[in-house]
Structure formats: C-alpha cells, structure tokens
Amino acid sequence: MARLSVVFCIDVIFIFMAGIYIHVPFCKTRCHYCDFFKSTKVQFRNQFLGQLLKELENRRKFFPESDKIIESVYFGGGTPSLLDVDQLKKVLAVIRKEYSLDNGAELTIEVNPDDLDPDYLEGLKKTGFNRISLGIQSFFDEDLKRMGRRHNADQSRKVIDQTFDAGFKNVGIDLIYGLPWSDQEKFLENLKIMNQYPLKHLSAYHLTIEPGTQFGRDKKRKKLSEIEEEQSEQLFWLLHDEAEKMGFDHYEISNFCRDELYSRHNTSYWIGKSYLGVGPGAHSFDGIRRFWNKSDLHQYLHCGYQKGIGEEILSENDRFNERLMLGLRTKKGIDLFDLKNIHPGLTDRLEKNIQKWIDRDFLMQSGGRIFGSRKGWFLIDGIIEDLFEV
C-alpha cells in the first residue's frame, strides 16, 4: 500500500514559546462562507483600539512563569489590514512594553489583497512584522465573486509581487478548495499559479458550509450543497501530492510550508502552549483553564473585555482529548510515552482502540509515536472522535 511520505517524516521537533493573538473583528463586507466573529461597523476602529490597548495592559500577568517569553504575535480577524500602520504600531508598542517579547519573535498579520499598497507594506515592514498571510482564497474571479470576496484575481497576483518587493521573505497565502461549482482542474491551476511565487506557507481549507452564513442560507434553500466525500478526498490528495512536488511540507491537515517555516503561532496551539487572545471573540489558554471574550463588539467597546469574559477549567479528560485531537492532526502525531506520563489512567483503553485502527491501516506506529497513514489522514477527525475519552 502507498503511504503518506510526510507522515513518515516525524523527526521535526517543535519548541515554541507562548503567543498572543489579536482579534480584529472588522470587515468591510461579509464573505459568504465565513462564520468567524466579525462586524462591518468599521467606523468604530479607534474606539476598539482604545479598549484593545487597555485589555493588553490589564492582562500582562496572564502567562505562567514557564511560558513567560512571547515568541509569536498574530493579528487575525476579521480583517487586521483595516487597521492603519500607526494603529498597529500602538498595539505592538504595548506588547513590547508589558510582555517579554522575544527578539526573534514571529510577528504575523493577516491581510486582504485589496487593502494593500506599497506604502502600507513598507509601513508593516518598518513596524516589525516579519510574516504576512495573504487571504487569496482563489486566483479565479468567478470563485472570488461567488465567495463574496472584495478583491479580484489581478489584485491577488499584484499584491504578492508587492509583498516580496517590500522585503518580506516569510509570505504565505490561504486557498479554499471543495467549491461546489469548481473542479479538480481549476484547483490544480490554482496550485500552479501559487507555485510561480517563492511562497513559504500555504493554508488550504476545504469549504465547510456553516449555518448563519450566506452559503448556509443558500444550502437551506437548496441552492448550494457540499461536494461528495469521494471528490473531497481526491482534492485533498491532489493538494498534498502537488504541494509536495513543489517543495512544501504537509505538516498539519490544512497547513504546508517550505524551508521549515512552520507557523510558530499555530504550532504553539497544537502542542498545548499557553496563549493569550485579546479582542471580542478571542480565546485564551493558560495550560489548565480556557478563557473566551464574549463575541459582542458593542459590549467590548463600552464595557471592555471584563464584562463578557468566560472561563472553563479543563478536566483531565478534556486535556487528554485535546492533546489527541491536536496531535493527530499533525504529521508528528502523538507520543504514547508522553501521553502515559501525563495521563497515566487514561491510556489503557486508548492503546486498544489505536490498535484496531493500526490493524486496518488507518494509523501507523513508529518509535512510540502514532500518526495517520495515507489511508487514514483524510479521515483523521472521525478516528480522533472514536479515540476520545468521554
């Protein structure tokens, strides 16, 4: 049986410190597929910034001593590129003042192609950003229009060139596949166009139609539906095989990188490091407890984060299940020895359940690590659910 070569390559060791996530909840318009918390009330950006800076100052003691050094700051959304350079400078200035930011920290910002120009990119560079994530989604105008994106294909190509011209080296893009009106040939062409650029990272997500989105409403009216699972699997392996030929390492179900430029920030999530999320709708984790800010822009603007913050102490089962879920979605998989040390009472049943998946060639074992085979990785979410401790 053919095997997934990237899953065999398990010698990569991730040693990342804590991170800070900045949720910028503004969008000029709503994309038809997106169910992240967002608001089109962009006129409140200055008021939002004031509350965001206060939250960063108030939560400066959030991190435990073991995770005191901050190695990544990630501006996501929403649309972070709706903040101007001076606003972004203020956020980073507070982080540098109040937190122990590592000198070589990864500073990422998600940007929309239609928000960028050479001056803005130059400003990002001077401010200290060293990683850019471009929300391309597709290089075809039809796809972009039907997804409700604001930019067009020409802008996508132009802004990638401008980003490299501004001196950024660590540049990645997002693509969406599994579009009901599209096909394999079109997605392959997207990958070929992507390969014309020296990109270091790719996040590729299969379209999921979520309730509450425009696509969700279209699905309810039977105007749209997800593609068949067989088609999804074919696209997944087309993506993997072509990206691998292009020199990308498929290091997590939806993420690929060149030259070992993994997303430090996202990888910290996957290995269970602490992270602080600020802004409405943002989540945080201190190693034991999970926190979340209420997804309510009005409350955040008028009362700050304190009035809407929620908290949950994770049970041992929760932490065990989360470690399984996050680990098995990566090519590195999970270390059974570590799992036994951390959760000694929960691994007997797990080992029996793992064995049945190994016997069916869905999971593989090497050097004490468990990870997905080529047959199993596409179905890994279902396998993880079966392994959960309830």
Single out the residue of 59, 63, 81 nearest to residue 71, CA to CA: 63
Portion of the chain with pLDDT greater than 70, in percent: 96
Per-residue pLDDT tens for 123-141? 999 999 999 999 999 999 9
Per-residue pLDDT tens for 272-288? 889 999 999 999 999 88
Q: Sort strands 283-285 and 289-292 into parallel, antiparallel or unpaired.
A: antiparallel
Per-residue pLDDT tens for 31-74? 999 988 999 999 999 999 999 999 999 999 999 887 889 999 99
Q: E strands, the chain, where? A: 18-24, 69-77, 100-111, 131-137, 170-177, 201-206, 249-252, 255-257, 275-278, 283-285, 289-292, 310-313, 334-335, 363-366, 369-372
Whole-angstrom CA distances from 172 to 130, 211, 282 are 11, 28, 23
Domains annotated on the chain, with CATH: 12-270 (3.20.20.70), 316-390 (1.10.10.920)
Q: Sort strands 69-77 and 18-24 into parallel, antiparallel or unpaired.
A: parallel
Element spanning 383, H or E? helix 380-387
Per-residue pLDDT tens for 160-211? 999 999 999 999 999 999 999 999 999 999 999 999 999 999 999 999 999 9
Lowest mean pLDDT among 173-187, 229-243, 264-278: 264-278
Contact present, 108 and 265 (Cβ < 8 Å): yes
What is the average pLDDT across 222-245? 96
**pTM metric for this prediction:** 0.92
CA dist., res. 35 & res. 219, Å (int): 15
Is the pLDDT at 10 greater than 70? The verdict is no
Q: Match 């089109």 to its residue by tokens.
A: 40
Contact present, 273 and 67 (Cβ < 8 Å): yes
CA dist., res. 146 & res. 32, Å (int): 8
What is the average pLDDT across 142-148? 97
Query: What would the two tokens of residue 262 be?
Result: 């993994």
pLDDT at 16: 58
Q: Sort strands 201-206 and 255-257 into parallel, antiparallel or unpaired.
A: antiparallel
Q: Any idea how long the chain is?
A: 390
CB atoms within 10 A of CB 344: 9
Contact present, 36 and 78 (Cβ < 8 Å): yes
Is the pLDDT at 11 greater than 60? The verdict is no
CA dist., res. 60 & res. 57, Å (int): 6
